[in-house]
Amino acid sequence: MPAGDALADGFRGRKILLGVTGGIAAYKAADLASRWTQRGATVRTLMTPAAARFVAPLTFQALTRQPVATDIWRAEEESHHRPEHIDLASEGDVFLVAPATADFLGRYANGLADDIVTVTLLAFAGSVLVAPAMNDRMWAHAAVKRNLALLRERGVAIIEPGVGHLACGSFGAGRLADLDLIDQAVAKSLAARAR
Ligand SMILES: Cc1cc2nc3c(=O)[nH]c(=O)nc-3n(C[C@H](O)[C@H](O)[C@H](O)COP(=O)(O)O)c2cc1C
């Protein structure tokens, strides 16, 4: 079986929760959403309000052909079903947050749940991967390091950022990891989970 087919098989019929937070690298998450949808996965995108200022939710909706969750409250006003974050959390095979901002890492590490991404994460029992992306001085900050250490301790997989030119104009560590690396990490996580 060609390698591409084996890769697609790992995604076909799976449900991926893609959390997008408000960093400049948010546009790169659209590429991941597109790849996985083409391989037959159902990708449900969850965006913080800050993420929705960088990339329109419509981009993810069109690429994944699925509704995008951007608000804890909106879906509740339209439905009498279980809360959307509980539904999403119980259906996902894996949850990836890319890019993960410093702000998001702080909220998630401390168990806060005031946006659709963090509230769904707290209700999610499966494998979580986060791919941080930020300015190099933010990445080196003791508070960010501590939040990452806490998340690692709890079994969250951190896909470390790379070194390179950053959108803020500096050069250093903080660039969202290469998309192929993130893709491989998610494929590995799906392969480890029984269907
Ligand atoms: C132009 C611009 C680019 C930003 N890029 C990043 C980034 O790459 N990483 C980051 O951690 N924060 C970045 N921020 C700051 C976040 O948007 C801010 O902390 C926000 O509260 C994040 O919210 P969220 O974590 O709920 O998405 C940026 C802000 C602006 C205005």
Whole-number pLDDT of residue 80: 67
Q: What is the mean pLDDT of the chain?
A: 93
For residue 182, pLDDT beyond 70: yes
Could you list the active site residues? 168
Whole-number pLDDT of residue 9: 86
For residue 115, the CA-to-ligand 1 centroid distance in Å is 15
CATH number of the structural domain 3-192: 3.40.50.1950
Produce one character per residue of 156-194: b if its CB has 16 or more CB atoms within 10 Å, e if not. Answer: bbbbebeeeebeeeeebbbbbbebeebbebbbebbeeee
For residue 191, the CA-to-ligand 1 centroid distance in Å is 32
Better-scored residue on pLDDT, 193 or 159: 159
- In short, whether 22's Cβ falls inside 6 Å of ligand 1 is yes
Whole-number pLDDT of residue 7: 73
Tokens, residue 8: 């697609």
In terms of Cα–Cα distance, which of 81, 112, 95 is closest to 20? 95
Report which DSSP code applies to 22. Answer: S
For residue 166, pLDDT beyond 90: no
- In short, whether 23's Cβ falls inside 6 Å of ligand 1 is yes
For residue 32, pLDDT beyond 90: yes
Whole-number pLDDT of residue 169: 86
- In short, whether 179's Cβ falls inside 6 Å of ligand 1 is no
- In short, whether 108's Cβ falls inside 6 Å of ligand 1 is no
For residue 109, pLDDT beyond 90: yes
- In short, whether 21's Cβ falls inside 6 Å of ligand 1 is yes
For the CA of 20, the nearest atom of ligand 1 = 27
CA-proximal residue: ligand 1, atom 13 (nearest)? 23
For the CA of 115, the nearest atom of ligand 1 = 26
For residue 151, the CA-to-ligand 1 centroid distance in Å is 19
For residue 19, pLDDT beyond 80: yes
Whether 155 contacts 168, CB under 8 Å? no
For the CA of 25, the nearest atom of ligand 1 = 8
Whole-number pLDDT of residue 78: 72
For residue 102, the CA-to-ligand 1 centroid distance in Å is 8
At 130, the amino acid letter reads V
Q: Where are the alpha helices (H) located in 92-178, listed in sequence order? A: 102-109, 116-122, 136-140, 142-153
